[in-house]
Amino acid sequence: MAAQITYACTFCGQPQEAVQRLLVGPNGVYICNDCVTLCHSTIAGPTGHEVHDDARADDSEVQMLRGELASARVMIDRLMRENAALRARLTPPAAE
């Protein structure tokens, strides 16, 4: 006698017998109607990208961070050049 295969929602783990519908997706992924409803309400809700006025950086903070970023870029460029020069000195010439 062949074993009965039981499918379950990949997201919440509910077996197919406990849900109204179980949809199959690519690569053996299953999603139940409850998880589809939850996903739909999440997608239809606020995006999370809203910025509150008190969370915005003021112009002086932005300018300070831009200056720090520019300094960091200069330092990284210098270190990369030094690293390349050291590697060139340590790497033996290729055999011909």
Complete DSSP assignment for 32-63:
EHHHHHHHHHHHHS--S----GGGSPPHHHHH
Q: Is residue 35 domain-resident?
A: yes
Tell me if 28 is assigned to some domain.
Answer: yes
Q: How far is CA 61 from CA 47, 57, 66, 71, 73, in A?
A: 26, 6, 9, 15, 18
pLDDT tens for the chain, 96 residues long, are 667 888 999 999 999 999 999 999 988 899 999 999 988 888 887 765 555 555 556 778 888 888 888 888 888 888 888 888 888 888 777 666
Other CB atoms within 10 A of residue 19 CB: 20
Distance of alpha carbon 21 from alpha carbon 15, whole angstroms: 10
DSSP H or E run through 85: helix 59-90
9, with CB counted inside 10 A (0-12, 13-18, 19+), is buried
Q: Is residue 79 part of a domain?
A: yes
User: Are residue 12 and residue 38 in the same domain, yes or no?
Assistant: yes
Q: What is the pTM of this model?
A: 0.45
- Domain membership of residue 1 (yes or no) is no
Number of domains in the chain: 2
Domain containing residue 26: 7-44
